[in-house]
Structure 1
Amino acid sequence: MEVLNRIGVGSAARLSVAGGVVLGLIAGIIYSFGGATIDVLVSAGWVTSDETPGLSSGTALAFGALLGMPVIGGVTGLVAGALGAWLYNLVASRVGGVKINLQR
């Protein structure tokens, strides 16, 4: 058994950024699809809305999520990954690290 005493803050942050961007992209695609679906339903007359049929500010916001959600996910991942690694290093230096089994 090996003991993980320290996690690289930069490497943990990079990994968390990558995960956050991927999850943000998936969320942005889902949000955009939902916004487009609502616009199609309003345009077809199946759903009533105070907005005009077709492309509206809500549509622009939904498609803006394709860019915004990955950015928000990346920034959140950066902060969470760096903070998590820093806290782990702080606690592990006082009480010991996690024991892991590594095969060579």
Structure 2
Amino acid sequence: MKKEITRLDVGSVAMMYGAILATIGLVIGLFVAAFGSLFGSLINSEQSGMFVGGGIFMAILFPIMYGVLGLIAGALVAVIYNFLAGRIGGVKVYVRD
């Protein structure tokens, strides 16, 4: 059976996209923190703590930054989809009962 998605709820799309990107940001932030700690321990200087602290800061900042940008992008995509779906038709999805 073929059905058509004619509208998207802007709030739910924005929240879901924000949550997805926040999760991706957390993974990337953890990698940055791990590599920052690794390279910070290999450097013998007074600034080696900057790598460790910067990595931990990125592990906190990336999920927040990605989540906010995802929230904005998700809302924008849903608004554009709703505008265009009314004019050219929505996405057709095949479902089984």
Q: TM-score, normalised by structure 1?
A: 0.85
What is the match of residue 74 of structure 1? 67
Pick the structure with more helix per residue.
2
What is the match of residue 64 of structure 1? 57
What is the match of residue 26 of structure 2? 25
Instruction: Flag the 1:79–1:42 CA change in 2: closer, same or farther, 3 A.
Output: same
- Counterparts of 1:27-42 in structure 2 under 5 Å? 27-42=28-43
Gaps of 5+ in 1: 44-50
TM-align CA RMSD: 1.3
Q: TM-score, normalised by structure 2?
A: 0.91
Structure 1 position 58, deviation (Å): 3.1
Gaps of 5+ in 2: none
What is the match of residue 3 of structure 1? 4
- Quote the Cα distance in structure 2 between the aligned partners of 1:91 and 1:68: 34
Larger radius of gyration: 1
What is the match of residue 85 of structure 1? 78
Number of aligned residue pairs? 96
Instruction: Flag the 1:53–1:64 CA change in 2: closer, same or farther, 3 A.
Output: closer
